[in-house]
Structure formats: structure tokens, C-alpha cells
Amino acid sequence: SELMTGLSLGASGILGAIVQGGFAGRAAKAFGDRNAMLIGLTFGVAGMAMYGLAPSTLWMFLAMPVVAVWGFY
């Protein structure tokens, strides 16, 4: 539905902004640039797999925080 599409896009944007604005720099300092990038890519792959295998809308929303860590990349 249009409501769920809007909610999912909004939640995805907010989570991405939180990760990129609040955690990406800290992760790079804590783990190093290369390791933070690899962590982000790993979570991005896992999150996209979760999206692709999601049997319901609930699983799509549960995958959003995982995909948001992709912002480390």
C-alpha cells in the first residue's frame, strides 16, 4: 500500500542518517577505514539478502537496521 511504502522509505532514510551521521565516523576511528568499509559491505550484503528472502513486510522492516549499517561503507 502507499502508506507502507511511505513508512518504509521514511524509516530507511532515518536509519541511514543516524548511522552515517552518528556511527560511521566512530566506526572508522575504532576499526580503521578499511575494516569499517568491510563491516559496512558485509552488513549491506546480509541486509539485501534479508530483503530478497523476506516472507512478509515485518521481515522487510527487521532488515532495515542491518541495511543501514551499510552506511559505514
CB of 20 within 8 A of CB of 40?
no
Alpha carbons 58 and 20: distance in angstroms, whole number: 24
Low-confidence ranges of the chain (pLDDT < 50): none
For all residues of the chain together, what is the average pLDDT? Answer: 90
How is residue 28 written as a grid cell?
Answer: 572508522
* pLDDT score for 70: 85
Cα within 13 Å of Cα(54), Cβ side? 16
pLDDT at 46: 95
pLDDT at 45: 94
